[in-house]
Amino acid sequence: MAEDLELLRARIDEIDAAIIRLLGERFTHVRLLGRWKALAGLAVENPERENHLRALYLAAAQRESLDPALVLKLFEVVLEHSKAEQHGQGKRPKTA
């Protein structure tokens, strides 16, 4: 019984590590996107895209039998940090 508990906890720890790794990868791409937007003079905010993403997140929550409020809350935090990162990329000094 205790071994099963430890196996479950170990698997949860592995999944948590994978989530963090994926967030790191996501933010690498967010920073690149921010640089491209800054170079092109594009706005960081895109309400139409954000609404589209929310719909995708809700559909994914339903497919995975997850609480939609939890999924939306999680991704609202991710989206807000993503926009902050992109804004930060536009303020970085340009290098040769």
- 8-48 pLDDT per residue, tens: 999 999 999 999 999 999 999 999 999 999 999 999 999 99
pTM for this structure? 0.83
Q: How far is CA 67 from the centre of its chain?
A: 17
User: For 48-63, what is each residue's pLDDT tens digit?
Assistant: 999 999 999 999 999 9
Tell me, yes or no, whether 25 lies in a domain: yes
Amino acid at 75: F
Write the CATH number for 52.
Answer: 1.20.59.10
- The reply to whether 42 falls in a domain is yes
Contact criterion met (CB below 8 Å) for 19 and 45: no
User: In angstroms, how far is the first alpha carbon of the chain from the final one?
Assistant: 61
From residue 39, how far is each of 8, 31, 36, 72, 81 by CA, in Å?
47, 12, 5, 30, 20
pLDDT band at 2 (very low <50, low <70, confident <90, very high): confident
